[in-house]
Every structure is written in structure tokens, then in C-alpha cells.
Amino acid sequence: MSKKEHDVSRRQFLNYTLMGVGGFMAAGIMSPLVRFAVDPLLKGKEGAKMVPVMDVKDITNEPQNKKFTVKKVDGWHKFDEQQIAYIFKKKNGDILALSPICTHLGCTVAWNDDPSHPNQFHCPCHGGRYTKTGINIPGTPPPAPLGVYKTQVKDGKLYLGEVISRGGS
Amino acid sequence: MLQRIYDWVDERLDITPLWRDVADHEVPEHVNPAYHFSAFVYCFGGLTFFTIVIQILSGMFLTMYYVPDINNAWDSVYYLQNQVAYGVIVRGMHHWGASVTIVMVFLHTLRVFFTGAYKKPRELNWIVGVLLFFVILGLGFTGYLLPWDMKALFATKVGLQIAASFPFIGDWIKLLLQGSDIVGAQTLARFFAIHVFFLPAALMGLLAAHFLMIRRQGISGPL
Amino acid sequence: MHRGKGMKFVGDSRVPAKQAKFIPPKDYSEYPGKTEAFLPNFLLKEWMVGAVFLVGFLILTISDPSPLEKEADPTSSGYIPLPDWYFLFLYQLLKYPYASGEYKVIGTVLIPAIAALALLLAPWLDRGFERRPIKRPIATLIMLLTFVAMVYLTWESTVSHNWEQAEQQGKIVQTVDFDKSDPGYKIFSQNCAKCHGDNLEGSSLAPALVGKGLDPATVKTMATKGGGQMPSGIFKGSDKDLDALAKFVSDVSKK
């Protein structure tokens, strides 16, 4: 008698089989659907193509505002996106291309347009300021330095790629 | 834990009789394929419902990528089929599922007809069933246009021409379905709305009525 | 049902005072034999059928990608549309003389409406108490004849359809960039574009040239002497033009 109580009853067995078959059908239907839906998460990110922006010989020590277009593909939608970079030579001669997107809330910063703070990047939205190399000045809203473009010099031309964030604190 | 949550809800809403009625009702021997192999003909109704569930699920997921707009519809379908993982399967489930649903509805209708199950007292359920059949054909017709490929456009033109030949109100029906004097942007938007909202709503209401009536009247007896 | 009895009011909501014992539904005593409970016994059998069906269905979706033709082009002419297979019988019906032209309404409205109404009103058209198909021959015969007619019409429509042309007319074409100022393109558009398309993409009249990888010599022979569906003597011009044309078509077809 006591042994029988530990056995799986016929009803329990049927219920387990039912759950098994039901689970199989649910998995069969849902797995392609779910994989289809989460595809954006699993799609590898394609690095931006390097785009020629200007001649290296024209780069000065003063940041220059350069507009350039990048071909973007958003699913079935292909479009040209206009991007802006502030390009200049650092003291050691390295080329630095800064993204003017303020790290505070995404406004566009401008170079040297605030008379009270010369030679700084200034954000018109909330008064954020950055040094010439794009480091955020303590006491202003931005939490992180400006992003920098990946740069490459080829045949006397400066090529820009994706923006690399310089972290934040 | 689950048991306690269930008891808590049951104490307040008294849900046990609802599902026990479905769970414990006795199924007669003559529809059980385990006893008579020929009883598999009674499976067609259940399989129709199963394919409809597949259609609803795959359709819901397809709208994550599809856009009902003549400039983007074809591109979005091409993208979801060729660029998105499992896109071939998901679109295939919906495309082939439509055909399989029609086959299953057809077989189910023939089974009910040839077993005379539509006779008194089940006339009303037969009517609901035939309406379901028409709704499903309507879903097939409106869904055909949505990928906005050559076949979709020209087959829909013919279909609307047929609607236009209806005496007296034909042109009016055609304009109502087409939304404009050509098969174009407005037709696609309309067919999308009909395919995704109006007909599925009708389908679910009719299905609920169909099942309630089956539960109320039971399965017709053996021949 | 409680019907208000044995309910105690809590606030303004009704809650049963005592958990009524569940009484299972009546069994099918009218059908003696091996009846069984819906859950889990019968549902398990249904789900097994469902699982087998699902496996077959998923194999179908994987082995046969659903078709997609090229993007709709309302300006295209000569496209012969074909409805989905379940409307083919109606499509075929409309080809017959008594269901087209001035009698079109017979095929488009009258016959389908009669069929739909008859189906809808079947319980009142066939009012006898007999349920066996053999004991109600008229209803059975009408249904069988309708079924045979639909199968026949569907079959007829597929036999008379030109499937090769259908496949060709809807094909997704690869577009390639080429120089439209090429001297060969001017000759092409004068001689060949009418059938092979402005972008060499083909049409319902002639196949695409893009992606064919043609030799200049082949192009020359086809243009002057024809071949396959193409009649001879289509090209009209000098030998120099022919050389330019052959070079142009061959280059683009290899892209």
C-alpha cells in the first residue's frame, strides 16, 4: 500500500506527458518567433566606414568645424546622416577629431563662442563647458569628456570613423 | 505557493467551476482516434484552431518589422525575410499557415457536413462556422496585398474588379475597399487595417461563440 | 449556480459565504462506451496529433521559403496575375463565356452568392432527421458535385497557366550601376531596350541580360541572327555600332 502511494498515478503521468507535449509545441512555435523578435540584440554591430573629411595639411592648431556625411543603413531604410567634427592638431602634433555632442543631454557644443570663457567648447543648452581637448570642466553639467572620432590618415587625407566615448564619472 | 495564490483568487472569484467544466467534461468514444482510427476526421476542427493560433502569433511578430506603406512595404518584407534571423521561417509560418488554415477549415466543414452535424439543434453553430469560413477567406484576400509585390498588386486589382461587378452597389463597394480611385497607398493602408484589426476581431468573436456553443451542446452523437 | 443564494455581501461585492463543492459536469451517459475526461486523457491525444502536425508544418516552412516577387510597379503592363490557390476556381470560372463579358455578373456574383447562401442555410435546406450521408442523397450529391467542380476548375486553371512566364514576370531583378553615357547604351536603348528593359532587367517579353555573363560574340549573334524566342534582324545599324553594343552588353551582363 505504502509503495503504491509513491508511484506516479495514471493521472499524474498523463498530466506530465501533456505538459511535455504542450511544451514541445509551444517551443516549436515560439522559438523561431522569439529569435526573430530579438534579432536586433544579437545582430553584431557593424563598425562605421571610414569617411574622408579633409586634407591633413589644412589641419591647424585651432579646432575647425567640419561637416561630413555618413551613409547609414537602418534595416530597409538607407539614408545619409550629416555629422560634425571639430578637428585640430594637439601640441604634440597628433590629430584630434572631437564629436560636438554634449555628454550632458545631447545638445551640440560650439567652439569659442562664449566671450567670458575663451578657447573652450561651450554648450548653449545648460552652459556646459569643455577644454580644447574636450575634457569637461568640473562644476559644469557634463559628466564626461566629449567623444572622439576614430581617425586614420591615408594619402594625405584624414578619414573619420565611429565616435568613441571617453567614459565618464 | 502556486496553490495558495490559486486558492486566494478562487476564494474571491470562484473560478474552479469555469475550468472544471472544460476539463472534466466527458469526451465520447466515437470521436476518439485512439479507439477508432477513422475518428481522426474529428481532429480537423482542433487543427484549424491550432493553425489560427499560429497565424495570430506569427502575424503579431511580423508586424514588428512590416510597414504598411507603398514605399517601404516591399523593402521591409524583403528585409525581414532575408536579413533577420529566422525571417524565412516566421514569414513562412504566416504564408503557408494561411494555406494550411484554409485546407483545415475546408476539411472541417466537409466533416461537419457529411456527418450531418449541422442539423437541429446545431443550426446556429453551423451559421457561425460558415461566417468564420468567410472571415478566413477575407483574411486571405486582404493579406495577399500586404507584401506589395507584383502578384499582390495585380491579383488585388482583379479581386476589386470582381467586387465592382456587383449589381447597383458594385462601384461603391470597390471604392470603399480601395479607398481611392487606384490601387495604391490608401488601398494598402485599408487592407492592412482590415487584415490586422477588423477581421481578426470578428474572427475572435465568432470563435468564442463557436466554442461556447460546442460546450453548451456537446459533440453530435455517433452516426 | 448560486443565483444570489448563500452569498454574503462584503462592501458592495458578492463573495460566496461557503466554498461550494465542485460538482463535475454530467457524463455522456447517452453515448455508452469508452468515454473519457477531456483533461488530461483526451487533450493528450489531440496534442499528439497537433505535435505531429506542427513538425510537418515547420518542415514545410523551412524547406519552402515563401515567395516574394519584385516590388509592385503599377505602370507595368502585361503582367498576368494569379490569385492564391483557394480562389483559383473562381478565377477559372470567369474565363468561361457564360460567366464573362455581359454575363460576367453570373460568374462574379450570382454563382458565388448562391453557393455561399446555400452553405449558410444548409440546416434549413436539408431538414430531415437523417444524418448519414447515404440516407440524404440530394444534399450529399450536391456537395460532392460542388467539390468535384471546384477541384476541376482549380486543376484547369493551373494547366492553362503559363508557369514559366509567371515566374519570369515577377522575378526580383538585381539592378546594377552602369554608365548611361556609354555609346553602347544609346544603341542598346534604340534596339533592345523595348524588350530587355531600360536597365537590362528584362520584361515579360524577354529575359534579363544582367547577371548572364555574355560574351561579346554571343551578343552579336543574338542581336543579328536571333535565337530562342528572339527573332532575327532586331539589330539595325552599322558594324561599328554592333561592336559598341556587344561590348556594352557584355560588360554590364558580367557585373
Same domain, A109 and A80: yes
Same domain, A68 and A144: yes
Q: Which ranges constitute the DSSP H helices of C16-132? A: 43-63, 88-93, 104-105, 111-120, 122-125
Per-residue pLDDT tens for A97-145? Answer: 999 998 888 888 888 887 888 888 988 888 888 988 888 888 888 888 9
Same domain, A19 and A69: no
Burial label for B9, CB within 10 Å (0-12, 13-18, 19+), is: exposed
The residue ranking higher by pLDDT, C87 or C219, is C87
CB contact under 8 A, C47 and A11: no
Per-residue pLDDT tens for C11-46? Answer: 555 555 555 566 655 555 555 677 888 888 899 999
ipTM tops 0.90: yes
The SS3 assignment for C169 reads helix
Of the CA atoms within 13 Å of residue A55, those in its CB half-sphere come to: 2
Same domain, A142 and A80: yes
Which of B79-93, B94-108, C35-49, C134-148 bottoms out in mean pLDDT, i.e. has the lowest? Answer: C35-49
Same domain, A57 and A8: no
- CB-CB: which of B57, B78, B85 is closest to A29? B57
Per-residue pLDDT tens for C108-167? Answer: 889 999 999 999 999 999 988 888 999 999 999 999 999 999 999 999 998 888 888 877
Neighbours of chain A (3+ CB pairs under 8 A): B, C
Which of A9-13, A53-57, C184-188 bottoms out in mean pLDDT, i.e. has the lowest? Answer: C184-188
Q: Is residue A153 part of a domain?
A: yes
The boundaries of the domain holding residue A16 are 2-42
CB contact under 8 A, C66 and B92: yes
User: Residue B113 to residues B124, B125, B220, C46, C152: CA-CA distances in angstroms?
Assistant: 14, 12, 12, 21, 21
Same domain, A80 and A98: yes
**Dihedral angle over CA of C134, C138, C139, C144, nearest 10:** 80
Per-residue pLDDT tens for B143-184? Answer: 999 999 999 999 999 999 889 988 889 999 999 999 999 999
Same domain, A26 and A83: no
User: Residue A131 to residues A98, A121, A154, B206: CA-CA distances in angstroms?
Assistant: 11, 6, 28, 68
- CB-CB: which of B64, B79, B90 is closest to A32? B90
Same domain, A76 and A154: yes
Same domain, A73 and A134: yes
Domain count along chain A: 2
Per-residue pLDDT tens for B17-58? Answer: 888 888 888 888 888 888 888 999 999 999 999 999 999 999
Which residue ranges form the domains of chain C, and what is each CATH number?
A: 85-161 (no CATH), 183-253 (1.10.760.10)
State the cell numbers at C108. 462574379
SS3 content of chain C, % helix, strand, coil (to 5): 55, 5, 40
CB contact under 8 A, C58 and A14: no
Which pLDDT score, from 0 to 100, does residue A169 have? 45
Does B96 reach chain A within 8 Å, measured CB to CB? no
Does C50 reach chain A within 8 Å, measured CB to CB? yes
Which pLDDT score, from 0 to 100, does residue A2 have? 47
The residue ranking higher by pLDDT, C150 or C255, is C150
Q: Cβ distance C87 to B162 under 8 Å?
A: no
The residue ranking higher by pLDDT, A28 or C107, is A28
CATH number of the domain that A99 lies in? 2.102.10.10
Q: What are phi and psi of A85, to 5 degrees?
A: -135, 145
Q: Is residue A169 part of a domain?
A: no
Instruction: Give me the residue label for grid cell 525575410.
Output: B81
Same domain, A151 and A77: yes
β-partners of residue A65 are: A86
User: Residue B149 to residues A133, B68, B85, B163, C243: CA-CA distances in angstroms?
Assistant: 53, 13, 22, 21, 38
**pLDDT bracket for residue C101 (50, 70, 90):** confident
Same domain, A36 and A86: no
Q: What are phi and psi of B110, to 5 degrees?
A: -65, -40
Alpha carbons B89 and B96: distance in angstroms, whole number: 10
- Residue numbers in A near B58 (CB within 8 A): 33
- CB-CB: which of C67, C82, C132 is closest to B223? C132
Alpha carbons C225 and C222: distance in angstroms, whole number: 5
The SS3 assignment for B208 reads helix
Sequence-separated (6 or more) residues with CB below 8 Å from residue C105: B165, B166, B167
- CB-CB: which of A29, A37, A76 is closest to B72? A76
- With an 8 Å Cβ cutoff, the interface of chain A facing chain B consists of 29-30, 32-33, 35-37, 39, 42-43, 75-77
Alpha carbons B4 and B202: distance in angstroms, whole number: 37
Same domain, A159 and A141: yes
